[in-house]
């Protein structure tokens, strides 16, 4: 197996629903996102997937979140836009674009600060 990782970021505001504390108030983060994909085999160029493709697909998806109030977006309607739910959303959406039988999104990690992150993966 081969594993690739790209790291990028976006900025957005949110508030946690049904949370008893300061984070229930509107606030923002400069979110750091780690995208990990895996592949069984390499292509003719010796790559799992071109980093340019992986970065471009990730950038396109994160543009839908960047500088937004996440609670107002359709993908989080009725769902608290926590780091956990953001990582699951990114996992699912990138999987639709990248999973091809060889390449699979393995894990998404979303950092809301330098000291706190949440990851989503499926077994």
The pLDDT tens digits of the residues spanning 69-88 come to 999 999 999 999 999 999 99
pLDDT of residue 58: 98
pLDDT of residue 27: 97
The residue-averaged pLDDT of 1-27 equals 96
Residue 38 CA to residue 25 CA, distance in Å, equals 38
Residue with tokens 């629903």: 17
Sign of CA dihedral 98, 70, 20, 26: positive
pLDDT of residue 28: 97
pLDDT of residue 89: 98
Look at residues 63, 6, 3 and name the one whose alpha carbon lies nearest to residue 35. Answer: 6
Please list the active-site residues. 23, 67, 112
pLDDT of residue 77: 93
- Asked whether the beta carbons of 12 and 66 are under 8 A apart, the reply is yes
pLDDT of residue 100: 95
Q: What beta strand segments (E) does the chain contain?
A: 2-14, 27-39, 103-113, 116-120
Question: Domain spans of the chain?
Answer: 2-120
For domain 2-120, give the fold: Tetrahydropterin Synthase; Chain A (3.30.479)
Residue 82 CA to residue 80 CA, distance in Å, equals 6
pLDDT of residue 64: 98
pLDDT tier at 120 (50, 70, 90 boundaries)? Answer: very high
| Residue 58, SS3 per DSSP | helix
pLDDT of residue 1: 95
């Amino acid at each position: 197996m081969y594993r690739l990782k790209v790291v990028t970021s976006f900025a957005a505001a949110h508030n946690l629903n049904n949370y008893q504390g300061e984070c229930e108030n509107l606030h923002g983060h400069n979110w750091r996102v780690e995208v990990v994909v895996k592949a069984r085999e390499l292509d003719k160029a010796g790559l799992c997937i071109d980093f340019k493709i992986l970065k471009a697909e990730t950038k396109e998806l994160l543009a839908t979140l960047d500088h937004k109030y996440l609670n107002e977006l359709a993908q989080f309607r009725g769902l608290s836009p926590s780091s956990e739910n953001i990582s699951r959303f990114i996992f699912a959406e990138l999987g639709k674009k990248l999973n091809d039988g060889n390449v699979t999104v393995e894990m998404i990690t979303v950092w809301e600060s330098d000291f706190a992150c949440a990851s989503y993966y499926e077994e």
